Chains A and B, each alone.
Chain A
Amino acid sequence: QKEVEQNSGPLSVPEGAIASLNCTYSDRGSQSFFWYRQYSGKSPELIMSIYSNGDKEDGRFTAQLNKASQYVSLLIRDSQPSDSATYLCAVSRTGGFKTIFGAGTRLFVKA
């Protein structure tokens, strides 16, 4: 079992729709959870960090964390073609330097 699992996609949604990206993790000691967006050939860009169970909203993005189910998700509302990228889920333990990345989900938003 991989430490951080994501559906590789591609996930294709029409412009204006909600894109839902999912991630599961295996280490119950994980305390910090991150979503990064990475355009082809570019570096990862932080979208959201979340540390507590529940929802966290920032503009069109909502991160959801459920530690009991070891599940974290990212919702993108009103998806735009510019949201087309690979989304990396990343997880780390408190006090640890190692951030474990999932393989990423490729998202395509069709105009």
Chain B
Amino acid sequence: DTEVTQTPKHLVMGMTNKKSLKCEQHMGHRAMYWYKQKAKKPPELMFVYSYEKLSINESVPSRFSPECPNSSLLNLHLHALQPEDSALYLCASSQVPDSGTDTQYFGPGTRLTVL
């Protein structure tokens, strides 16, 4: 099973709202990722968790706050977003790269609109 699930599928929020995106995988992967993708652009890495610890933060603004409660779950907490943050937010998971394979599997994404 190579399934990564994400909720919600769509989210509309105002600039003063607080919301969270959720991601879950049951493939035993110990690396999980958040990407942001704008229309007609490739996915842009935001955060990487390895063994539930934050390994990479690609200088993402603090209005995005990631959390990895356990090896299967990844959250992205959103607060005081701007309209330009509207995008498709993708979660992915993989084996940790030094295990010999680093293929990333993507979830279906959350389409976020900030009004």
**Which residues of B from 31 to 64 have beta carbons under 8 Å from A?**
31, 33, 41-43, 45, 48, 50, 55-56
Given A97-B31, A101-B42; A43-B102 close (CB under 8 Å): no
Interface size class of B (residues with CB under 8 A): 20 to 34
Query: Residue B42 contacts which of A45, A46, A88 (CB distance < 8 angstroms)?
Result: A88
Complex contacts, A90 vs chain B, CB 8 Å:
104
Binary CB contact string for chain A from 17 to 45 against chain B (1 if under 8 A, 0 otherwise): 00000000000000010101000011111
Cα of A34 to Cα of B43 in the assembled complex, Å = 14
Cα of A103 to Cα of B102 in the assembled complex, Å = 20
Let me know if A96 is at the binding interface, CB within 8 A.
yes
| Contact between chains at A46 and B45 (CB < 8 Å) | no
Complex contacts, A95 vs chain B, CB 8 Å:
97-98
Let me know if A98 is at the binding interface, CB within 8 A.
yes
Interface size class of A (residues with CB under 8 A): 20 to 34
| Contact between chains at A43 and B108 (CB < 8 Å) | yes
Cα of A34 to Cα of B101 in the assembled complex, Å = 11
| Contact between chains at B43 and A44 (CB < 8 Å) | yes
Given A88-B42, A103-B41, A104-B42; A97-B50 close (CB under 8 Å): yes
Cα of A32 to Cα of B88 in the assembled complex, Å = 25
Q: Which residues of B contact A (CB under 8 A)?
A: 2, 31, 33, 41-43, 45, 48, 50, 55-56, 88, 90, 97-98, 101-109, 111
A42-B108, A43-B109, A97-B102 known; 7 new pairs, CB 8 Å cut-off, are A32-B102, A43-B90, A45-B106, A90-B104, A92-B102, A94-B102, A97-B33
Q: Which residues of A contact B (CB under 8 A)?
A: 32, 34, 36, 41-46, 49, 88, 90, 92, 94-99, 101-104
Some 24 contacts from A to B, beta carbons below 8 A apart, are: A32-B103, A34-B104, A41-B88, A41-B111, A42-B109, A43-B88, A43-B109, A44-B90, A44-B106, A46-B103, A46-B104, A49-B103, A88-B43, A92-B102, A94-B97, A94-B102, A95-B97, A95-B98, A97-B50, A97-B102, A98-B45, A98-B48, A99-B104, A102-B42
